[in-house]
């Protein structure tokens, strides 16, 4: 099926607005994606037609909401090729999922154990493990990166030892777009009997991972970077691991029986879903998955690759512009700086021209420290962006250079 980007853009109401008197060019998709009308309608329908709490009522609205919520769980299961629906835990997002696992491993790790993270991680996949190591006495080791923004896999082989209990790596770097070799990372970790968590926040809008084929122990992602709403995400965990970990929070829904003497916990997935969840968000997450699959992930990847190639060529026409993260295997993210100009200043000027980019360290300060820079300008593309928007970005960055040099 041919890809008609103009037709796709009609699905996104926000793309028709103006910013500072210019048509919006939205290039901050790595921070959050825009939402198609199908997802917006799903949210409106829930609150207009069957808003009710789930799993607790015999009345019609509660049953309708419960059915829609659990149907969304099954959509997520099928999309990620997960063996069992109870291995899908609804969370508030990727950070929640990571902290849930880290909290659980606090009862498993001991002094002398080692955990590995990569130098390419978002702060959300660094800080929880630092906190875990402080609580347990385990040691945190870092897989280094090279100038191209790729992991040093030779160092990974050296860092992996019988002491390694856990390995945590993002699937795609939010700051550089690098796609990490997670298949190799998982296989080698398992050879040392270490568990693996993959942070999929940046990958799942571009790649459809097969979690059974990957044989990963835990995988986390957020809906809002997949054209879904904010405040909802997914933790996948192998059933045997989820049964080993203690509950993250106590409250309603996650219990089987409560007395003042003792509480027994509910079966999976409810053991990890205390309290009233983001019901509407979960249902809309399912709608977003339907929308993306209707377009097709191969179609999305091919189109975004063409945008990445074109945008890289155009931006490199600007003298003094340097791109950080030049891995051959990356998603449609370009982090760059203009020589002698602070990225914040560039971002401010291009915003005045209606173009939304992200500036700063992108919650990945160790990467910026590696390059010895304060941050970058990051343009991150989605399948609803166009080459004409790339041209506008290039012209705006050139104008910023002229004004600030």
Residues marked active site are found at 363
Contacts of 277 by beta carbon, 8 Å cutoff, 6+ apart: 54, 69, 90, 253
Q: Mark 36-55 as b/e (b = at least 16 C-beta within 10 Å).
A: beebbebbebbeeebebebb
Distance CA 336, CA 378 (A): 6
Q: Work out the number of other CB atoms within 10 angstroms of the CB of residue 192.
A: 13
Distance CA 231, CA 248 (A): 17
Residue closest to 125 by CA, chosen among 91, 166, 168? 168
Q: What is the sign of the dihedral through the CA atoms of 120, 332, 203 and 382?
A: positive
Distance CA 329, CA 102 (A): 29
- With contact defined as beta carbons under 8 Å apart, do 356 and 17 qualify? no
The residue ranges of DSSP E strands in 56-160, in sequence order, are 88-91, 114-118, 139-143
Distance CA 253, CA 271 (A): 8
**SS3 call for 283:** helix
Contacts of 375 by beta carbon, 8 Å cutoff, 6+ apart: 343, 344, 359, 360, 361, 362, 368
- With contact defined as beta carbons under 8 Å apart, do 315 and 394 qualify? yes
Q: Cis before residue 389, ω within 30 degrees of 0?
A: no
């Amino acid at each position: 099926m041919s890809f008609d980007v103009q037709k796709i853009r009609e699905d996104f109401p926000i793309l028709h607005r103006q910013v500072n008197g210019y048509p919006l060019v939205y290039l901050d998709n790595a921070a959050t994606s825009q939402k198609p009308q199908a997802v917006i309608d799903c949210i409106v329908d829930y609150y207009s037609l069957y808003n009710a709490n789930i799993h607790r009522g015999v009345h019609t609205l509660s049953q309708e909401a419960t059915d829609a919520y659990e149907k969304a769980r099954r959509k997520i299961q099928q999309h990620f090729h997960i063996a069992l629906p109870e291995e899908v835990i609804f969370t508030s997002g990727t950070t929640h999922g990571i902290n849930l696992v880290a909290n659980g491993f606090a009862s498993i790790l001991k002094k002398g154990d080692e955990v590995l993270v990569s130098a390419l991680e978002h702060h959300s996949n660094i800080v929880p493990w630092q906190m875990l190591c402080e609580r347990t006495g385990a040691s945190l080791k870092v897989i280094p990166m090279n100038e191209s923004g790729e992991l040093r896999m030779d160092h990974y082989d050296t860092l992996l030892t019988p002491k390694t209990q856990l390995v945590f790596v993002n699937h795609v770097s939010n700051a550089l777009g690098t796609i990490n070799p997670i298949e190799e990372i998982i296989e080698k970790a398992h050879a040392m009997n270490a568990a693996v968590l993959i942070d999929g926040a940046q990958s799942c809008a571009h790649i459809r991972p097969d979690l059974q084929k990957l044989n990963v122990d835990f995988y986390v992602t957020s809906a809002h970077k997949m054209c879904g709403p904010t405040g909802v995400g997914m933790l996948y965990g192998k059933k045997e691991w989820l049964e080993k970990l203690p509950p993250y929070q106590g409250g309603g829904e996650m219990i089987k029986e409560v007395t003042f003497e003792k509480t027994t916990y509910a079966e999976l997935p409810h053991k990890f879903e205390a309290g009233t969840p983001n019901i509407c968000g979960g249902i809309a997450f399912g709608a977003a998955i339907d929308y993306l699959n209707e377009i097709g992930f191969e179609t999305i990847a091919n189109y975004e690759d063409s945008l990445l190639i074109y945008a890289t060529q155009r931006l490199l026409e600007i003298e003094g512009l340097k791109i950080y993260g030049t891995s051959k295997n990356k998603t449609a993210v370009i982090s760059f700086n203009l020589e002698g100009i602070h990225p914040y200043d560039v971002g401010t000027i291009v915003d005045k021209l209606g173009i939304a980019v992200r500036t700063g360290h992108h919650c990945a300060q160790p990467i910026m420290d590696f390059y010895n820079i304060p941050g970058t300008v990051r343009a991150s593309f989605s399948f609803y962006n166009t080459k004409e928007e790339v041209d506008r970005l290039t012209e705006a960055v050139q104008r910023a250079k002229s004004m600030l040099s």
